[in-house]
Structure 1
């Protein structure tokens, strides 16, 4: 089962603390797997830094697939799914505060997922949680709007 690591901010080409937390969680899952695991790192401007970090921490570079264009949670999921079609269920690694939004988008897109939330360091949690308080309702509204438009187009 392939692993998808969602991108987060980078600083001068290096993963931020939140992104490192996600990458560490991914390495733990890779190390625990009985068979080699293909890893998709996804994010505009982040995929290269993520791939480099994983390889530096022992992940086989031949198993790392970069998706360098996604700019949002839904695009991360959509683009990874397009890169490796036919995946029955993705294991998605993101931050603990980001799990509900990731599940919401996966449900909307019809992409079966198991979401693993990397623990966020306390010093990053307040800002991340505040951002997520705005982002989750925004995503829910976007999904609702998309579904409403889809229903309207089927009716006409």
Structure 2
């Protein structure tokens, strides 16, 4: 009987789950908090599934649930591939063909071709040991990155669902580029969200410097937009030097009185990475986002995920590095043994 060990495993799983939920409530701007929530939820579900299999009253239910769970990735993979490819084509038609805008198409192509890699290696007469090593390495890395992406996705969703705890004294608006001196729709959505967050009293800080292809600083262009929409100039403080999100936050905070309640307005896909950055900079602020066209979100969100991985490269690279080294050692030992 597995009942007694399952009691321990079930209790341990609940402890992980409870600890993760507590960590998310206390500080939702941490990735590891959601990692514990998902890990605890998975272990709890797994223990309940095994527990149910131990009792006759459950019948074939555990097996059916297990088959369903296995079917999800088998069906989900081609559907996700098709979605990314179609979204990528739509992005090519509607947006500029920059690297960031083509990410959904690129990932779709990679997912389409990845299953063919072992076949191509076989055609190239690569030894079976080499094919196995490449396959194991690829599957392991895909599962790891998929897990981190799931943590990032769930963290972003939970963070966006938490209402601001306080009324804003200041609202920082992150710039995203202007066309000459015109505010484009993406930036207009941020400004409209800021107007909504500010209410009738909060000060607004449009933040952004002047790019090489812009006629004036983003902060100035945004201030003009706010004035056109009825915000009195006395409630606008322009920050016109920042060139990155980090500078947006740091330069804007220098214009804010101490012990003020701060909200940050950006695009919806950019909310959680900005929230992570506010925590890293020691800024007590809540981040909210303006709506973005649905077709634009997949590439933009993938870009945000890549940026988070870049910002935490040393931490995130440990497991893939060890996994690659392990598979190389297995390959070498197999070659030597043969």
Provide TM-score, normalisation by structure 1: 0.81
Structure 1 residues 119-138: aligned runs within 5 Å: 119-138=291-310
Which residue does 2:185 correspond to in 1? 17
Structure 1 residue 139 displacement after superposition: 3.1
Say if 1:130 and 1:27 are closer, same or farther in 2 by CA, change over 3 A.
same
Three-state SS of the structure 2 residue aligned to 1:11 is coil
Q: Matched residues in 1 for 2:252 and 2:275: separation?
A: 15
Counterpart contact for 1:88–1:112, Cα < 8 Å: no
Counterpart contact for 2:170–2:260, Cα < 8 Å: no
In the alignment, structure 1 residue 36 sits paired with structure 2 residue 201: yes
Deviations along 1:33-81, whole A, 9 cap, x unmatched? 3x52110010112101100111001111111111111111111111111
The structure showing larger relative contact order (alpha-carbon pairs under 8 Å, at least 6 residues apart) is: 1
Which residue does 2:242 correspond to in 1? 70
Structure 1 residues 5-154: aligned runs within 5 Å: 5-30=173-198, 33=199, 35-45=200-210, 46-141=218-313
Which residue does 1:154 correspond to in 2? none
* Bigger Rg, structure 1 or 2: 2
Q: Matched residues in 2 for 1:12 and 1:59: separation?
A: 22
Say if 1:83 and 1:14 are closer, same or farther in 2 by CA, change over 3 A.
same
Structure with higher helix content: 2
Which stretch of the first structure deviates more once superposed, 74-83 or 86-95? Answer: 86-95
Structure with higher strand content: 1
Which residue does 1:3 correspond to in 2? 171
Provide TM-score, normalisation by structure 2: 0.39
Aligned length: 141
Structure 1 residue 16 displacement after superposition: 2.0
Runs of 4+ off more than 4 Å = none
**5+ unaligned residues in a row in structure 2: which ranges?**
1-168, 211-217, 317-338
Structure 1 residue 141 displacement after superposition: 4.2
Q: Matched residues in 1 for 2:190 and 2:227: separation?
A: 14
**5+ unaligned residues in a row in structure 1: which ranges?**
145-156
CA-atom RMSD in angstroms: 2.1
Structure 1 residue 123 displacement after superposition: 4.0
